[in-house]
């Protein structure tokens, strides 16, 4: 019988010894294909679930099913995750980053399908989040699984994870360049000759599959017709500043709200609270139902009157004050809707909410400027530029924002406004927050891979594995004779001094006793506590690698003790740290 192991041998142990570079190119194509299929499948399941549930009713009709659907979807998601997956699958992009930095690219195999099911239940039933983060996690997991199946090295597995993420973005948006740039900016993979070719293969494969399966109908099908008016540049600068400030608000509020939901330990209480808040928001602001891309398309097509209706506001466009309040509510409260969806147990990303807020904000700013200053500004251009600005600010990914909006709309004529708005928004947000919403928590724990090769290597290092625990210990009240017996059976020249509770008291080195170790008349008169010294510092087991390296730098020591709340664990050696560092650094070097 032809088994999987036999299939693997064809690639790894054949007499012809397939070239690893060619194998990587083939696998990047395979990963791009599978990621695009996953993206297409997810978008279709969400779409048809939405159609099945809402056929014959509209979000403005007052039908109370719109209040029940999101709560029901989050409940189904919660039950699915709890009883079928039994793993945390939320915050997909952050999980991918953690796998790259701390798990050698390992993502569990269930991530190739579990996020699709969970996000379909959440978003298909009206959860106010996006499908992009789940499909990026799916594509990355496909890359990780394929890489491990073919027994690729860590560097190649990481690259295949990037290929999966690029394929997912390219497939879901039909934007191959944006897929590649997303991997470079958000996942922070290095742009090298060896990495760019697999990423190109994966992203273009995914985009081609998206064309084949969905044609032009991939989220947005809008072409910019008007020529760019250079006299409006200053208004795009204004839009960029406002987008940056709103991006900062969105990021801070998302982290704040989700952390507060996590404090509620009972999952069903969280579900009830989050579902109720989301239902109320959808009742007041119908565009909050689902991803919100239909609302953006409506604005792009100039049919703004179709969304300017609220159950508590009436027909919003009848009054400019009501219009301003309604639009401000959409911009400021979308973060509450999306955080309540995820916090209550739903599975989705902030990609779509970011684009939604950006589009609404762009439309709102254009309307305000026309009203206040009587300037002629094209709504659709400001909608698109606002989307790019919001994405650049929230994700700290201005290039991704520029190319994504340009590609999905065919609007390269819009390139200058996109660049202006995205750059200003990024600079504005970066002035207040160094890291993006995807990176901030990992960075605070020292677990974020960056483009700085030195920091990337340090982040990947697990220094706790280098702790040496084979050193012979001694007691403070031991005599010199007792110490000499310990020295005689030890292969080391450092002897930790611990008390009866294993708390470190000091250290004795071989140099400390070299001059007296053969003077037997002193064996019973000199005690260990008389000759021990206090280490220049110690390292707590909870510290990160940067702190460890800084301790060695400041003290100049070659060995330092490692403690856990004062209790002795072992010693860490600078030479072992540097040896491990060099091995990891070689993985980053080009062949």
Q: What pLDDT was estimated at residue 14?
A: 43
Measure the CA dihedral 577/580/586/587, to 10°. -130
> Is 50 exceeded by the pLDDT of residue 590?
no
Give per-residue pLDDT as tens, 40-59: 999 889 988 988 887 766 55
**Tokens read off for 39:** 């993206």
Q: What pLDDT was estimated at residue 397?
A: 92
Provide the 10 A C-beta neighbour count for residue 33: 18
What is d(CA 132, CA 130) in angstroms, rounded to the nearest whole number? 6
Share of the chain above pLDDT 90, in %: 37
CA-nearest of 262, 436, 452 to 351 is 436
Give per-residue pLDDT as tens, 457-511: 666 677 788 888 888 888 988 888 888 888 888 888 889 999 888 889 889 988 8
What is d(CA 565, CA 512) in angstroms, rounded to the nearest whole number? 27
> Is 80 exceeded by the pLDDT of residue 226?
no
Please indicate, yes or no, whether the overall pTM of this predicted structure exceeds 0.85.
Answer: no
Q: What pLDDT was estimated at residue 202?
A: 95
Higher pLDDT, 300 or 164: 164
Give per-residue pLDDT as tens, 273-316: 999 999 899 888 888 998 988 888 888 877 766 666 655 555 55
Residue at token pair 């959808």: 282
Higher pLDDT, 510 or 91: 510
Q: Do domains 4-214 and 230-451 have the same CATH topology?
A: yes
What is d(CA 380, CA 397) in angstroms, rounded to the nearest whole number? 22
CA distances from 39 to 145, 167, 258, 265, 561 (A): 17, 9, 26, 33, 50
CB 291 within 8 A of CB 352: yes
> Is 90 exceeded by the pLDDT of residue 355?
yes
What is d(CA 148, CA 145) in angstroms, rounded to the nearest whole number? 5
Crossing angle of helices 379-395 and 398-409, rounded to 10°:
150
Average pLDDT over residues 59-69: 67
What is d(CA 536, CA 252) in angstroms, rounded to the nearest whole number? 40
The CA-to-CA distance between both ends of the chain, in Å, stands at 39
> Is 50 exceeded by the pLDDT of residue 10?
no
Q: Name which CATH class applies to 4-214.
A: mainly alpha
Mean pLDDT, rounded, of the chain: 84
What is d(CA 41, CA 312) in angstroms, rounded to the nearest whole number? 37
Q: What pLDDT was estimated at residue 92?
A: 79
What are the structural domain ranges in the chain?
Answer: 4-214, 230-451, 457-588
Distance of CA 36 to the CA centre of its chain: 20
How are beta strands 314-315 and 494-498 bridged, if at all? Answer: unpaired
The band of 220, judged by pLDDT with boundaries at 50, 70 and 90, is low
CATH value of 457-588 in 1.10.3720.10, 3.10.580.10, 3.40.190.10, 3.30.2090.10 = 3.10.580.10
What is d(CA 142, CA 113) in angstroms, rounded to the nearest whole number? 9
Share of the chain above pLDDT 70, in %: 85
Higher pLDDT, 284 or 362: 362
Higher pLDDT, 196 or 57: 196
CB 379 within 8 A of CB 368: no
Give per-residue pLDDT as tens, 397-427: 999 999 999 888 776 778 899 999 999 999 9
Sign, Cα dihedral of 566, 570, 573, 579: negative
Average pLDDT over residues 517-540: 86
> Is 80 exceeded by the pLDDT of residue 526?
yes
The band of 354, judged by pLDDT with boundaries at 50, 70 and 90, is very high
User: What CATH architecture is 230-451?
Assistant: Orthogonal Bundle (1.10)
Higher pLDDT, 537 or 317: 537
The band of 446, judged by pLDDT with boundaries at 50, 70 and 90, is low
């Amino acid at each position: 019988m032809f088994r999987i192991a036999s299939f693997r041998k064809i690639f790894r142990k054949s007499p012809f010894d397939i070239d690893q570079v060619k194998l990587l190119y083939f696998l990047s194509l395979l990963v791009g294909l599978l990621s695009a299929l996953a993206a297409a499948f997810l978008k279709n399941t969400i779409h048809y679930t939405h159609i099945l549930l809402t056929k014959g009713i509209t979000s403005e009709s007052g039908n109370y099913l719109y209040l029940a659907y999101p709560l029901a979807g989050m409940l189904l998601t919660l039950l699915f995750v709890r009883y079928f997956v039994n793993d945390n699958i939320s915050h997909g992009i952050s999980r991918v980053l953690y796998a790259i930095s701390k798990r050698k690219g390992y993502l569990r195999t269930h991530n190739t399908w579990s996020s699709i099911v969970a996000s379909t239940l959440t978003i298909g039933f009206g959860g106010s989040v996006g499908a992009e983060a789940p499909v990026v996690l799916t594509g990355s997991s496909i890359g990780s699984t394929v890489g491990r199946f073919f027994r690729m090295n860590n560097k190649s597995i990481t690259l295949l994870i990037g290929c999966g993420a690029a394929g997912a973005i390219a497939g879901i948006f039909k934007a191959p360049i944006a897929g590649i740039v997303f991997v470079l900016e958000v996942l922070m993979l290095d742009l090298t000759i060896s990495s760019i070719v697999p990423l190109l293969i994966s992203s273009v494969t995914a985009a081609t599959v998206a064309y084949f399966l969905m044609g032009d109908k991939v989220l947005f099908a809008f072409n910019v017709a008007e020529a760019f008016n250079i006299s409006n540049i200053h208004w795009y600068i204004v839009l960029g500043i406002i987008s940056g400030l709103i991006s900062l608000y969105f990021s801070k509020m998302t982290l704040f709200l989700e952390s507060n939901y996590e404090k509620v330990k009972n999952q069903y209480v969280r579900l009830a609270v989050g579902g109720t808040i989301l239902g109320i928001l959808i009742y007041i602001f119908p565009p909050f139902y689902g991803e919100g891309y239909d609302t953006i398309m409506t604005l792009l097509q100039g049919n703004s009157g179709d969304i300017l209706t609220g159950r508590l506001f009436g027909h919003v466009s009848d009054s400019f004050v009501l219009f301003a309040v309604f639009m401000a509510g959409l911009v400021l409260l979308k973060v509450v809707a999306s955080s309540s969806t995820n916090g209550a147990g739903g599975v989705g990303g902030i990609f779509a909410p970011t684009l939604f807020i950006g589009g609404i904000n762009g439309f709102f700013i254009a309307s305000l400027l026309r009203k206040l200053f009587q300037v002629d500004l094209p709504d659709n251009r400001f909608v698109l530029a606002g989307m790019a600005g919001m994405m650049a600010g929230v994700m700290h990914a201005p290039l991704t924002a520029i190319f994504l909006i340009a590609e999905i709309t065919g609007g390269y004529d819009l390139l200058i406004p996109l660049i202006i708005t995205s750059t200003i928004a990024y600079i504005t947000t970066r002035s207040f927050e160094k890291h993006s919403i995807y990176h901030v928590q990992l960075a605070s724990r020292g677990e974020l891979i960056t483009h700085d090769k030195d920091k990337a290597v340090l982040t990947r290092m697990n220094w706790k594995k280098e702790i040496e625990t084979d050193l012979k210990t001694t007691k403070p009240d031991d005599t010199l004779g007792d110490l000499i017996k310990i020295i005689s059976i030890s292969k080391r020249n450092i002897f930790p001094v611990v008390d009866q509770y294993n708390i470190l008291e000091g250290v004795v080195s071989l140099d400390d006793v070299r001059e007296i170790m053969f003077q037997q008349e002193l064996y019973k008169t000199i005690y260990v506590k008389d000759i021990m010294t206090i280490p220049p510092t110690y390292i707590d087991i909870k510290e990160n690698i940067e702190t460890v390296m800084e301790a060695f730098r400041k003290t100049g020591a070659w060995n330092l003790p490692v403690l856990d709340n004062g209790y002795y664990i072992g010693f860490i050696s600078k030479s072992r740290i540097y040896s491990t560092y060099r091995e990891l650094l070689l993985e980053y070097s080009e062949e």
